[in-house]
């Protein structure tokens, strides 16, 4: 164990955007608690690659939408590392079926909300209370909360409305936690990715290849997980110390209004 190194919990950290974040933080000197749904053996290549970057890595298999699983995950981190400096709420799901608003089911809505919004909200609550305890014991203790949202928090996509609403909720949660944690000197940020090449976007590669070629983005390329990872690492360096509650866009200019 590295007692002087900061510890970051990254949900969904063994693949896609989460792995890009984990790689950046491992290279920045963090030890890592990596959360995922897969068996640890299936995630081992990614975990070993993070260890090769110098990080001590604890794998926490847990569904962030499950209350008991969240509590067990934090207990495991406390037992292994004894501290938690950073929570990166990254884990998320897309609807299993991209259904029109007129046809979407309550079951899909509830599943997406539980994973993308309710789970992170209450994981943040638990982690925030632990961070407050750590700061009371040591006023110099560094802590930070980061939410990974999506341009879908503001860009309407009627065939996956539950996903858009969940990410809009994450955006508001960032503001709420920023206000609440300010008295404890814990900054809260939102990183809002655009079209990122990952497992989630694999089924729509051809669609977005065409849209990007037609000028959808100012920077005409797919975003990569490491683009998001660099943004998170920059925030955790403390480069924006007077900007709690703010959104960092990582979207290749998608959100720029153009004529």
**pLDDT tens track for 23-48:** 999 999 999 999 999 999 999 999 99
Q: What is the helix (H) or strand (E) element at residue 16, kind and residue range?
A: helix 16-27
Token pair listed for 64: 């962030």
What pLDDT, in 10s, does the model give residues 10-23?
A: 999 999 999 999 99
Architecture in CATH for domain 7-250: 3-Layer(aba) Sandwich (3.40)
**pLDDT confidence band for 2 (50 / 70 / 90):** very low
Query: What is the structure's pLDDT at 200?
Result: 80
Where along the chain do its domains lie?
Answer: 7-250
Mention every residue, 6+ apart, whose C-beta is less than 8 A from residue 89: 11, 120, 123, 124, 145, 146, 147, 148, 170
Mean predicted confidence (pLDDT) in 75-84:
98
Per-residue confidence band for 1, with pLDDT thresholds at 50, 70 and 90:
very low
Contact assessment for residue 232 and residue 24, using Cβ atoms and an 8 Å cutoff = yes
109 CB burial (10 A radius; 0-12, 13-18, 19+): middle
Across residues 113-125, what is the average pLDDT? 98
Catalytic residue among 30, 163, 208, 242: 163
What pLDDT, on the 0 to 100 scale, is given for residue 3?
A: 58
Give the pLDDT confidence of 142-151 residue by residue, as tens digits.
999 999 999 9
Distance of CA 126 to CAs 117, 138, 249, Å?
14, 19, 27
Dihedral (CA of 195, 199, 205, 207) sign: negative
* Contact assessment for residue 99 and residue 29, using Cβ atoms and an 8 Å cutoff: no
pLDDT of residue 61: 98
Reply yes or no on whether 163 is catalytic.
yes
Mean per-residue pLDDT, 108-134: 98
b/e per residue 49-68 (b: at least 16 CB within 10 A): ebeebebbbbbbbbbbbeee
Q: Cα separation of 62 and 18, whole Å?
A: 15
Question: How many CA atoms, within 13 angstroms, populate the side-chain half-sphere of residue 103?
Answer: 6
Contact 92, 13 (CB under 8 A): no
């Amino acid at each position: 164990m590295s007692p002087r190194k900061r510890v970051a919990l990254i949900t969904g950290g063994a693949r896609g955007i989460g792995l890009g974040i984990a790689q950046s933080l491992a290279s920045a000197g963090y030890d890592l608690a990596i959360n995922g749904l897969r068996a640890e053996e299936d995630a081992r290549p990614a975990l070993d690659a993070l260890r090769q970057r110098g990080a001590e890595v604890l794998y926490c298999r847990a569904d962030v939408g499950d209350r008991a699983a969240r509590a067990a995950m934090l207990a495991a981190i406390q037992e292994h590392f004894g501290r938690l400096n950073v929570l990166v709420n990254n884990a998320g799901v897309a609807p299993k079926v991209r259904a029109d608003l007129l046809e979407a089911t309550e079951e899909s809505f509830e599943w997406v909300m539980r994973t993308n919004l309710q789970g992170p909200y209450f994981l943040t609550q638990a982690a925030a209370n632990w961070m407050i305890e750590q700061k009371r014991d040591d006023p110099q203790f560094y802590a930070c909360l980061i939410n990974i949202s999506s341009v879908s928090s503001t860009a309407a996509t009627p065939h996956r409305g539950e996903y858009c609403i969940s990410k809009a909720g994450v955006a508001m949660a960032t503001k709420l936690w920023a206000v609440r944690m300010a008295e404890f000197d814990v900054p809260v940020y939102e990183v809002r990715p655009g079209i990122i090449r990952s497992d989630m976007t694999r089924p729509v590669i051809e669609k977005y290849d065409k849209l990007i070629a037609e000028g959808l983005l100012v920077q005409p390329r797919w975003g990569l997980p490491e683009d998001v990872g660099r943004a998170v690492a920059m925030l955790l360096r403390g480069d924006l110390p007077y900007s709690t509650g703010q959104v960092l866009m990582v979207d290749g200019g998608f959100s720029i209004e153009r004529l």
